[in-house]
Copies of this chain bind each other. A is one copy, B any other.
């Protein structure tokens, strides 16, 4: 949960004067988004989310994220859209922070996704990847294989405190991932953080995607690997092949997976687990002062990574080799 910055009513009313969004009726700081401060804003014309970008989000990346939301929405991917102010800008400033007013998306995230939810996710993920193909901006993934070593270095000294022999485990896995990481897969825009809390449903129908602040240009199949990690394990960290199969089959119906992508998937899944294991480890040992955030359990991803290490091929995830 996160509201790092307080915004006063007087200040917000002045900010909204720059937009054609009617009269401010109410606003509440909401417990959503770890990187930013978010407010739900109700005006006489509707609901909006006001996002204040805190220091952890690089200001130079904001135009990429905001333009991507507009691009995807225009191509039929339901996601929040930045509202343009009277000066024609989507990025404003409030409380000395860059800020955007964004349309509100109905829907709730599912705590215990079923195979049907995973199928809906696979479908929208493939459509997102296709919709992103003609997006003009590029942004390197700042949390991919080339960035993991520095994360590892920053937490290796303390890793064994959390789990016996975690440090050598990380070292050996990292060396392997760096050596074998596939560099020639189909690339494009990926969401890179499509966890259940970023996918809204109304009833059983997927109603939209949110939180594009990790989106970047990378291997499309890596996005699938992230989703397999985030959606297809049970709370006891066992892999549910029915959910995995639903996700993968639904994806492949919209965007067929190449043989190369299928071959690479087990390694990509290991990499995705490694990425969340490392960032959670760093956060675990280094909760920023005043962040008011409970760090997430890193070992969840250690256990997932151990599963991926035992996988013999993509068939173990629930889809055929070719």
Q: Report how many copies the assembly holds.
A: 2
- Determine the distance from Cα of A89 to Cα of B106 in the docked complex, in whole angstroms: 28
List of B residues within 8 angstroms of A29 by Cβ? 1, 30-32
Per the bound structure, the CA–CA distance linking A47 and B104 in Å amounts to: 14
In the complex, the chain B residue whose C-beta lies closest to that of A32 is B28
Can you list, as one digit per residue, whether each of A11-52 has a CB less than 8 Å from chain B (1) or not (0)? 010000000000011111111100000001010000100000
Q: Determine whether A111 belongs to the interface, using a CB cutoff of 8 Å to chain B.
A: yes
Inter-chain contact B111/A10, CB cutoff 8 Å: yes
**Beta-carbon contact of B9 and A201 below 8 Å:** yes
Instruction: Choose one: B30, B110, B290; the contact of A40 (CB below 8 Å).
Output: B30
The 3 closest A-B pairs by CB, nearest first: A9-B108, A29-B31, A8-B111
A311 within 8 A of B: no
* Residues in A107-157 with C-beta less than 8 Å from chain B: 107-112
Find out whether the CB atom of A10 lies under 8 angstroms from the CB atom of B112: yes
Residue A162 interfacial (CB < 8 Å)? no
The answer for the CA separation of A111 and B3 in the assembled complex, in Å, is 17
Shortest beta-carbon distance from A147 to chain B in Å: 29
Name the residue on B nearest A8 (C-beta): B111
A106 touching B25, Cβ below 8 Å: yes
- Please name all residues of chain B whose beta carbon is closer than 8 Å to the beta carbon of A28 when the two chains form the complex: 28, 30-32, 40
Pick from B10, B108, B112: contact of A27, CB under 8 Å: B108
- The answer on a CB contact under 8 Å between A9 and B111 is yes
Chain B CB within 8 A of A56 CB = no
Interface residues of A (CB under 8 A from B): 1, 3, 8-10, 12, 24-32, 40, 42, 47, 104-112, 200-202, 290, 292-294
Q: Identify which of B10, B47, B108 contacts A24 (C-beta below 8 A).
A: B108
Chain B's closest residue to A13 (CB) is: B108
Decide: B290 and A31 in contact? CB cutoff 8 A.
Answer: no
Interface pairs (7), CB distance under 8 Å: A1-B1, A1-B292, A25-B202, A26-B106, A29-B31, A42-B47, A290-B294
A248 to B215, CA, bound (A): 56
Residue of B nearest to A202 (CB): B25
Partner of A110, one of B10, B24, B42, B47: B10
Q: 7 new A-B pairs (CB below 8 Å) besides A3-B31, A10-B112? A: A1-B29, A8-B112, A9-B108, A9-B110, A28-B28, A28-B30, A290-B294
Closest CB in chain B relative to A52 CB, distance in Å: 13
- B9 in contact with A109 (CB, 8 Å): yes
Q: How far is the CA of A28 from the CA of B42 in the complex (A)?
A: 13
Instruction: Tell me the complex Cα distance, A1–B30, Å.
Output: 9
The interface residues of chain B lying within 8 Å CB-to-CB of A40 are 28, 30, 40
Return chain B residues, CB-CB under 8 Å to A202. Answer: 25
Question: What CA separation (Å) do A30 and B39 show in the bound complex?
Answer: 9
Give bound CA distance, A105 to B25, whole Å. Answer: 9
Chain B nearest CB: distance from A210 CB in Å? 11
A12–B111 alpha-carbon span in the complex (Å): 11
Give the chain B neighbours of A292 by CB distance below 8 A.
1, 292-294
